[in-house]
Structure 1
Amino acid sequence: MKRIPLWCWATLVGLGAFLWVFTPWENVSERARTAAQNLGATSVYAEPGAPDVVDPERAEKVIGDRAIVVAVFDETPLIEYADEQSPRQALCRDVASLVPTNLVVVFAANPDGDYNGSYCHGPDFPAPTLTDDTTDVFFLSLLATAEQSWQYRTSETDLVPQLEEFVLAFDTETFKAYGEVPRRGPVNSVYDVWQLVLACLAMVSATVVVFLLLRQLGRALFASRALRPREAGLNARLNRLADRVLHPEGGAPNAAAAKEYVLALREFHDTDRQRDRQRLDAVERRIEKIEGMLL
């Protein structure tokens, strides 16, 4: 069985890291993505061509900085959500996934052309701190309270009363559940396809580069440890030769041997670890040459 190259494993690790961080399979519709991108700076996003049944400026004044965001879409039927039991609610959930700490309101047209509002909460909207209710229970209670009031005020030409009653109920119910009114939270980063592709390439490339660097470092450390006994042996031989070169018995110093000894010392203390084995080979050859000169 052919062995899989280690760099392939590094590529798989980088790809796995990308999938874990960006979760590209959790894709939302382009309309939800566009809405979320615009909700980073304001509490109300109105899609070009949206009907005037919801006045964005009036809605924004009503909401203020509460943890509520509103997306007003045009009257194009939500065909992309036609397979959902509640297309408008599915769009709301998509937007909420990108503004996770807020309550979300979307105004859009179902595939049958019915234009109205749908309400949902972000996945990270906090659970009540003063009661034992879950976030779902709190939200359903809030929505039921608001619906009882707005049903007498809304019309086919004006849906803003929905928001007004929802905000009033929000203030009352959140104060009971939290002791304060939650404020609008951040919007998650929204990536388009090319940004995801570039992020994937960057993470995979970075993982491979780090792997190769660690591999080279490991090899260098292994080689250094493997050569350490040989280096110690050559150092001992150089030390034994020192007296014989500088203080030869019964004669004047051998100038040629002294020169070779200096060169051997220089090569021995060379710090270029990329050529460690070659360095020791050269030192050993010079030691043997010196030993031959001193015979």
Structure 2
Amino acid sequence: MSARDKRWLGVPRWLYGAVALGVVACFLVFGASSPPPPVSAQARKVVEGLRTTSVYEEPGGPGIVDARRSRELIGDRAIVLVLLARPLVDDTTYRTDPRAERCAEIAGLVATSVVILYAFDDDGEYDAEYCVGPEFANPANPVDQEDYVSGVVGGVNLGTHFRVTDTDRFAEVEEYVYTFDQYTMRDSPNGVPRRGVVVPPPPTPDALQARQVALALGGILAGTVALFVLLRAAGAFAGGRRTRAAASRTRTEEIGTRLNRLADTVLHPVRPANARAARRQADLAERYVLLLRDVESARTAAELTEVEGELSELEQAAR
């Protein structure tokens, strides 16, 4: 098939394949995948505040939980305490318990820790919500999150029934920390889990504009075409190497055949008639041995060419 037969409308057929592959890739990237759910501004601010401390206290809170004492008590355990001031009931994005959903959202961002969140509920009561980050686990024995939450919260309720008041609920945090130690140290050879580095979430992406989509599609198509070109070039290079290697083997075999023909003449000559003939035979034998060494070490085309020249000179001298 000629090069012209491999073209449609003057364009190589492989380019149509590259474009089709780019379209499929665009669908997989932009059509099949869905963007991650947006992070609320409040959760983003909370996580930013937890980068250097275990306790985040929103300004204007009721002060029912002592933030300073809680921070000292928690230390570097894998626990974060969030004290919100603004009621969550007015947020219409919630479909269930707003406090539970906000706690789960924050836990997803501080994935290796557990979260204690205090916020106002529908009745105006400042109460706690407990949740577990998706990557929180005992290194020796992964924590069953449901068992952990029910066990720890149950221990908190039992241990603080007569210790909390309407104006001071620090005892709940204190009991939670003690129960946390008990549960996490049962099977952990490394002690209580420590809080990992908190990385704030990236900015929530805005809706993609037409120009951005066009640029992205163009980039994918250009990348696909470039990949095809590189693959073709790599194939041509590999084919050239195989051709050169075959040619080199053929030349080496021909050189070996010529050396074999010289062997009897140079290494097993007739009895010399005089000293001059003897020296000539010795010189030819030495040159033959040196040539064998050069043939063994020849690797490149230039080295094979040089060896062939030496062989031709030796053949001429041996006549």
TM-score for both structures, normalised by structure 2: 0.58
Q: Does 1:143 align with 2:143?
A: no
Q: 1:73 aligned to 84, 92, 115, which one?
A: 84
Amino acid paired to 1:12 = F
Contact 1:127–1:135 (8 Å) recurs in 2: no
Q: Aligned ranges for residues 118-267 of structure 1 at < 5 Å?
A: 118-126=129-137, 129=140, 134-179=144-189, 180-194=191-205, 207-220=220-233
Secondary structure class of the residue paired with 2:116: strand
Secondary structure class of the residue paired with 1:104: strand
Instruction: Decide whether aligned partners of structure 1 residues 33 and 51 sit closer, same or farther in structure 2, where only a CA change above 3 A counts.
Output: same
Cα shift at 1:82: 7.2
Q: 2:114 aligned to 83, 88, 103, which one?
A: 103
Contact 1:11–1:205 (8 Å) recurs in 2: no
Q: Could you list the runs of 5+ residues in structure 2 that have no partner in the other structure?
A: 1-15, 245-319
Cα shift at 1:10: 3.5
Cα shift at 1:94: 0.9
Cα shift at 1:205: 7.1
Cα shift at 1:190: 0.3
Contact 1:128–1:134 (8 Å) recurs in 2: no
Amino acid paired to 1:29 = S
Q: Equivalent residue for 1:7?
A: 22
Instruction: Decide whether aligned partners of structure 1 residues 225 and 119 sit closer, same or farther in structure 2, where only a CA change above 3 A counts.
Output: closer
CA distance in 2, matches of 1:134, 1:12: 38
Instruction: Decide whether aligned partners of structure 1 residues 46 and 149 sit closer, same or farther in structure 2, where only a CA change above 3 A counts.
Output: same
CA distance in 1, matches of 2:207, 2:172: 37
Contact 1:102–1:121 (8 Å) recurs in 2: yes
Instruction: Decide whether aligned partners of structure 1 residues 24 and 212 sit closer, same or farther in structure 2, where only a CA change above 3 A counts.
Output: same
CA distance in 1, matches of 2:99, 2:129: 6
Cα shift at 1:25: 3.1
Count of residue pairs the alignment pairs up: 222
Task: Give runs of ≥4 in structure 1 deviating > 6 Å.
Answer: 195-198, 200-206, 222-226
Q: 1:25 aligned to 21, 36, 39, which one?
A: 36
Instruction: Decide whether aligned partners of structure 1 residues 127 and 151 sit closer, same or farther in structure 2, where only a CA change above 3 A counts.
Output: same
CA distance in 2, matches of 1:152, 1:39: 31
Secondary structure class of the residue paired with 1:145: helix
Q: Equivalent residue for 2:46?
A: 35
Provide Cα deviations, 1:126-168, integer angstroms capped at 9, x if missing partner: 15846x9723213321221122112222222222221111111
**Whose Rg is larger?**
2
Let me know the Cα RMSD of the aligned residues.
3.7
TM-score for both structures, normalised by structure 1: 0.62
